Amino acid sequence: MKHVFIIGSKGIPAKYGGFETFVECLTAKKKNSSIQYHVSCLVDDNQEFEHNGARCFNVKVPKIGSARAVLYDLLSLRESIKYIKQHNLTDCIIYILACRIGPFISYYKRKLEKMGVTVFVNPDGHEWKRSKWNALIRMYWKLSERLMVKHADLLVCDSKGIESYILADYRQYIPKTTFIAYGADVSPSVLFDDAALDEWYTSHNVKSNEYYLVVGRFVPENNYEIMIREFMGSNSKNDFVIISNVEKNHLYDDLLAKTNFDKDPRIKFVGTVYDQELLKKIRENAFAYFHGHEVGGTNPSLLEALASTKLNLLLDVIFNKEVGEDGAVYFSKQEGSLTNLIHEVEKYSQTTIDQLSEKAKKRIINEYSWEKIVDKYESVFIKENVKGEIHPMVESLFIS
């Protein structure tokens, strides 16, 4: 039996979040009976339970601010080591999601090596680039990332762009990497209660197929200011619907002061939508989707948009182009770029929109379906000798 301990998500059953949804789908869609998952869960008690056939172990962590996630990973790692020893487990992998515990990993890595345990790491995105962190915390994230890369037996990158970055910036460590994307649900919405959808439209004064849509965290690196400014500069008759939690968010107040978007009735902040089938239907019925993310790897909201929305306008960065390819159209951060693209797409024929929609959905089905992602993970988990793999890009650096 291959025992895989997953550390770093808030746990399952998944309520929200990229890593949580990943772990939910990985365990729910498991095909290989020789794999046993052990999932750490961030909760307030210490009881174990089973979900999707996985053993879920709760880790109680005091609320100590932003350092809580670091402590959670460390306590989860300690609990995993304890369980492996107590039950004399062999053939174990510890899979750490994100690079939060780099300064501590060498200590635990020595223990794990003696136990014969392999360490996989998902480096996630460029956490050290996020504007919400001050300079000191950014330095910590960058250091932590470097040390996690140094000590990982295998780095599982959910973006080819992130994989290339790891291989280039940390080539001195000869990192072993593999690319497995994040997954997406490719099925259409099963929402049959039209009244719920009509009520949502009525409450926000929105009409089907007459709005641009954004769903995502309200943070600077998602470029809401650019999208709002550019939309305000357009002559579009459609609305711009923003599904995001902006309560107690200083960015919202700053953006309001800078742009006066409240004077434009087309721009509508509508809060959050937790009903996933309703949210999927809202995506399906949008005229188009804006995606301004520029930090991170394969972004879940982008996959969901490409799977559901007919027309997608993406910020032209490597992570987004890697996913969207020719199934989307692209804008830059240059003034006027998105405004001009809005005017252009509103002249598209229905045939052109349908062609883009078909390409986007085929892209998701062929490359990002959860079934395919789970197959790849199970193959990597049960494969022998992962420590012997070196990416050709790194290997070529050492050929004279």
Report pLDDT digits (tens) over 330-366: 999 999 999 999 999 999 999 999 999 999 999 999 9
CA–CA distance, 100 with 72 (Å, rounded to integer): 10
Query: How many other C-beta atoms are found inside a 10 Å radius of the C-beta of residue 78?
Result: 13
Residue 131: per-residue pLDDT: 64
Q: Is the pLDDT of residue 134 over 80?
A: no
194-368 architecture in CATH?
3-Layer(aba) Sandwich (3.40)
Assess whether pLDDT exceeds 90 at residue 276: no
Residue 131, φ and ψ in degrees, nearest 5: -70, -15
Rounded to two decimals, the pTM is 0.85
Cα separation, 323 vs 354, whole angstroms: 18
DSSP 265: T
Average pLDDT, the chain: 90
319 against 203, higher pLDDT: 203
| pLDDT at residue 209 is higher than 70 | yes
- Does residue 388 register a pLDDT over 70? no
In whole angstroms, give the CA distance from residue 155 to residue 96: 10
In this model, does residue 394 exceed pLDDT 60? Answer: no
292 CB-contact burial (10 Å; exposed 0-12 / middle 13-18 / buried 19+): buried
**Same fold flag, 2-183+371-394 and 194-368:** yes
Rg of the chain, C-alpha, whole Å:
22
pLDDT at residue 392, as a whole number: 52
> Considering Cα of 236, then 241, then 242, then 245, what sign does the dihedral take?
positive
Superfamily of domain 2-183+371-394: Glycogen Phosphorylase B; (3.40.50.2000)
- Sequence-ordered alpha helix ranges (H) in the chain: 18-28, 68-86, 102-115, 135-151, 160-169, 194-204, 224-232, 250-259, 276-284, 300-308, 318-324, 337-345, 350-367, 370-382, 392-395
Hey, where are the domains in the chain?
A: 2-183+371-394, 194-368
The stretch 244-252 carries a mean pLDDT of 83
Q: What is the structure's pLDDT at 18?
A: 83
Instruction: Please report, rounded to a whole number, the percentage of residues in the chain having pLDDT higher than 70.
Output: 92
Closest CA to 182 of 259, 296, 325: 296
The per-residue pLDDT for 14 is 81
The band of 251, judged by pLDDT with boundaries at 50, 70 and 90, is confident
Q: Is the pLDDT of residue 249 over 80?
A: no
Half-sphere exposure of 274 (CA within 13 A, CB side): 4
- Beta-carbon contacts of residue 364 (< 8 Å; ≥ 6 apart): 184, 186, 303, 306, 307
Residue 154 in contact with residue 374, Cβ under 8 Å?
Answer: no
Residue 391 has pLDDT above 60, yes or no: no
Please state whether the peptide bond connecting residue 13 to the residue before it is cis, i.e. omega within 30 degrees of 0: yes
Quick one: pLDDT band at residue 130, thresholds 50, 70, 90? low
Residues 6+ apart with CB under 8 A from 257: none
Q: What does the pLDDT average to over 263-267?
A: 97
pLDDT at 379 over 90: yes
